[in-house]
Amino acid sequence: MATMANNQSVSSTQTIMKTPNNRNTWLSVLSLLILIGGTIFLYTKVSFNQSLLYVLGGVGGFILYQARFGFTSAWRQFILHRRGEGIRAQMIMMLVANALFLPLLLKGSMFGHSISGYVSPVGMSVLVGAFIFGIGMQMGDGCASGTLYHIGGGDMNGVVTLIGFIAGSVIAATHFNWWMNTPQFQPISLIEHFNVITGFLVQFIMLAIVYFATILIEKRKHGKLIPQKRENTNGWKVIFKGPWPLILGGVALAVLNALILMIQGKPWGITSAFALWGSKITQAFGANPETWSYWQDPAKAASLESPLYMDVTTVMDISLMAGALLAAAFAGRFSKPVQFKLPTRMTIGSLVGGLMMGYGARISFGCNIGAYFDGIASFSMHGWLWFVAAFIGSIIGVKLRPYCAYKK
């Protein structure tokens, strides 16, 4: 009788664990434990700032998931269907970021450390790297931030893309010096090249041109603007369950990036961690990444020699995934089981796409966040070149998606 009772108890427990509501609840608890535990660990082991940035990374993952703020999907919607709501949300995000970044950049310091934006050279490495990245982001079904929040949201395809991303970053790190010696202009900051008012005005005009061009093209195609369908059936709970309006997501990301700039002295980054992870893996197998050109910079060399939890980008990437997991669980994403088996063509496409993004991001000074978002937010012309080149690459990438078994 006791054995029968025990068996029934185990069976009941397994049944409870398998129910959709309990999957979401347990994953909510798990993600909160990761976020809280990581915050405490970093506070005691590294610094208050490191723990705070870890929290902000989690907030970023939560925002990205609940707003479904995808750079890749927004560009694809415009390329395929001439629907530009996503791109317009990006332009608003950039403008808000410019307004928040400007006083910080002019001040130059805060909380005892210097503050500077990402202003990088304009040249061949950005042009080629962003173009390659644009192709890869469509094949991999997500950019760098998209890949991470997809993983947090239970998309196993993102894991494959991330593996390729890391490998591509490592390969690019070995070629980094060659690309840095290709033709390029010196970094161009609009607020330094002109003056503050003129530079801001030039930036505003460029953002407005993109914004209104998408309206013109969309109306010519459809006769009107077609917003994405985001029905709110959650009432006030939409804050936790989503989906958020795209513009709200964009504004929230701009505020988040400004807070990151204030706390760490530089904008949000994603992809440098992938090169670090990959290089440490090769190091474990006997390679000497410290001799590669990419790691000759003293700051980068220090991160290669230090534990991963000392690297700001690493801890923020981890918390981004945890934040996205929390958002997905709150939204009930795990009411359906996660699909672990992927079509072979999709797996190959994601791996190749990740390789291309990893390589492209390293030689073009970042991804959609580090080069496009941060570059334009910092008034750097390289951000605009990155945008144009990556968008052209995305046109090709969209044409390749059917071969990767994507339905849209």
Q: Which residues of 314-324 are buried (b: 16+ CB within 10 A; e: fewer)?
A: bbbbbbbbbbb
Cβ atoms of 371 and 134 within 8 Å: the answer is no
Q: For position 339, what pLDDT does the model report?
A: 75
Type of residue found at 154: G
CA 391 to chain centre: 16
Nearest Cα to 79, choosing from 87, 67, 91? 87
Q: For position 406, what pLDDT does the model report?
A: 86
Parallel, antiparallel or unpaired: strands 122-123 and 113-114: unpaired
Nearest Cα to 245, choosing from 62, 83, 86, 72? 86
Cβ atoms of 227 and 77 within 8 Å: the answer is no
The Cα–Cα gap between 154 and 338 comes to 6
CA dihedral 238, 243, 247, 251 (to 10 degrees): 60
Nearest Cα to 91, choosing from 371, 377, 391, 370? 377
Q: For position 2, what pLDDT does the model report?
A: 43
Question: Is residue 284 packed enough to be buried (19+ CB in 10 Å), middle (13-18) or exposed (0-12)?
Answer: exposed
For the record, the structure tokens of 313 come out as 């980008």
Phi, psi values for residue 185, rounded to 5°: -90, 160
pLDDT in tens, 140-167: 999 999 999 999 998 889 999 999 999 9
Q: For position 340, what pLDDT does the model report?
A: 75
Nearest Cα to 362, choosing from 71, 166, 184, 146? 166
Q: For position 11, what pLDDT does the model report?
A: 45
The Cα–Cα gap between 48 and 54 comes to 10
Query: Within the chain, which residues score under 50 in pLDDT?
Result: 1-17
Q: For position 18, what pLDDT does the model report?
A: 54
pTM above 0.95, yes or no: no
